[in-house]
Amino acid sequence: MPTIPAILDEALATCKPGVSDLHIVDEVRRFLDILTSRLKKQGSDARVVLGGSFAKDTWLKGDYDVDVFVAFSMDHAQDDLSGLLAKALKPWNVDRVHGSRDYFQLKGGISYEIIPVLDIQKPSDAQNVTDFSPKHVAWVNREGKSLKDDIRLLKKFCKAQKVYGAESYIRGFSGHVVDILIIYYGGFVKLLKSAAKTWKKAPEKTVLDYNNTYKGKALMMLNASKTQGPLVLIDPVQPDRNAAAALTQEKYDLFVEAARKFTARPSIEFFREKAVDIWSLKQKGAIIVDLQTLNEKEDVAGTKMVKLYDKVRVALADNEFTLTDSGWTWDRKKKASFWFKVKEAKLSEKTIRKGPPAKMKESAAAFKKKYKNTRAVKGRMQAVVPREFRLAKDVIASVLKSDYAKDKVVSAKLN
């Protein structure tokens, strides 16, 4: 049986950039030089700063998404930074992405996100969370300089477990969260062992504070809105921020379970991203929905698609179907699929509709008037009524035909 070090070496060999990837670094540098030159020509003193995993040397082989920050001096604190940057980007065919401060995307073999920030000197100067991003890079390079490969391993692990990504339609572990976790625990294996044994179960929360800013009292001292998720991870650069605020309980639980399984029986399979085999799922009884997502920005289209997926799950539960498996896959362009597998092949013709407490005389009388075959059971009115749906596919079809679905995707049909 392979040892953990041997497994990690094999995993790292698949995800760490090598000599064949050096041309990517050269191309990124050329882009930064050209952008710097264009800013100077328009009279700007803004600095072009490489960000994200490329600046931290934690990027994965084949993953060529590059963050570029254009840092404007505090003299521009009251100016439209996105508008200033847009002028320098005119020669490129960039997409403008709206947000608290607009940023820009340039897609290709190498995809760039070009983000205007203020060149802050102290936290109080920041107007936007992205103003701290260059500080995050500096922190990782200082505190985690010997842990870059561990960060790569955790990214690869999270991708394979489908829990990686800060996008609102994923709400998993962001790159920044991955960085902090590895540095907090001092390595990949130490993190997984701790997550498997010590991370809390709902409704309790796991609280991690690298600098011990709150002396163990973060849940009491932080605004409640920042501690809603299962993991409260104090940002070492912005201590008033929970870096993991977007992480859902579902993704948290999936990660903890994967950590338990890996530490119990280590395998290279935990690092292998597996494509979803829709045909195989259908052969095993899953109901398949084929979709075309909206022609909008990825985060918008993805979020709307997942809302429709959640709507179907809720509808199945409301109609008394027991989900045994479900999920979705998306090419991040237009093509997507949902799958749902339920325990019940077909439900009974009738079901029980619960009503008000029997002691609420007026409400109970109205319930009796609305339904036949009523009775009180344990002090609560009940009625036997015909089911609207006996087959799960009919529930799903009903949701797909709704106005709600038409607002979320271009098309959706049962396969």
Nearest to 9 by CA among 183, 142, 156: 156
How many Å apart are CA 226 and CA 19, to the nearest integer? 42
Distance CA 134, CA 130 (A): 8
Distance of alpha carbon 310 from alpha carbon 48, whole angstroms: 41
Beta bridge partners of 354: 382
Distance (Å, whole) CA 292 – CA 408: 10
Identify which of 172, 187, 179 has the alpha carbon closest to the alpha carbon of residue 137: 179
Residue found by looking up tokens 């799960």 in the block: 392
Residue 72 · residue 120 · CB < 8 Å? no
**pLDDT value of position 98:** 87
**Structure tokens that stand for 94 in this block:** 């960039």
- Give the ranges where 161-248 is alpha helix by DSSP (H): 175-185, 188-198, 218-221
Residue 242 has pLDDT above 80, yes or no: yes
User: Is it true that domain 18-131 has CATH number 3.40.50.720?
Assistant: no
- Beta-bridged to residue 113, according to DSSP, are 67, 105
- 383 near 367, Cβ under 8 Å? yes
CATH 1.10.1410.30 fits 144-271, yes or no: yes
DSSP at 73: -
Q: Where are the alpha helices (DSSP H) in 16-166?
A: 22-41, 52-56, 81-88, 133-143, 148-160
Q: Is the preceding omega at residue 203 within 30 degrees of 0, hence cis?
A: yes
- Asked whether the predicted pLDDT for residue 377 surpasses 90, the reply is yes
* Cβ atoms of residues 329 and 278 within 8 Å: yes
**pLDDT of 125 higher than 90:** no
- pTM score: 0.88
In the sheet where 350-357 sits, what is the strand order?
A: 350-357, 380-386, 374-377
- Other C-beta atoms closer than 10 Å to the C-beta of 377 total 11
Q: Answer whether 42's CB lies under 8 Å from 82's CB.
A: no
Residue 182: both structure tokens together: 């590895």
pLDDT at 287 over 90: yes
Is the CB of residue 415 less than 8 Å from the CB of residue 288? yes
Tokens standing for 330? 């998306």
> Over the chain, what is the mean pLDDT?
95
Q: Which fold has domain 278-346+390-414?
A: Alpha-Beta Plaits (3.30.70)
Q: Classify residue 320 by burial, with Cβ atoms within 10 Å: 0-12, 13-18, 19+.
A: middle
172-222: per-residue pLDDT in tens? 999 999 999 999 999 999 999 999 999 999 999 999 999 999 999 999 999
Task: Tell how far CA 43 is from the center of its chain.
Answer: 39
Contacts for 245 with CB less than 8 Å, ≥ 6 apart: 226, 228, 229
Residue 348 has what pLDDT?
A: 96
> What separation in angstroms does the CA of 277 have from each of 199, 284, 405?
32, 11, 24
What is the chain's alpha carbon radius of gyration, rounded to the nearest angstrom? 26
The full set of domain ranges for the chain reads: 18-131, 144-271, 278-346+390-414, 350-386
CB 165 within 8 A of CB 303: no
Span 28-74, pLDDT tens digits: 999 999 999 999 999 998 999 999 999 999 999 999 999 999 999 99
Q: What per-residue confidence (pLDDT) applies to 236?
A: 96
**From CA 92, how far away is CA 121, in angstroms rounded?**
31
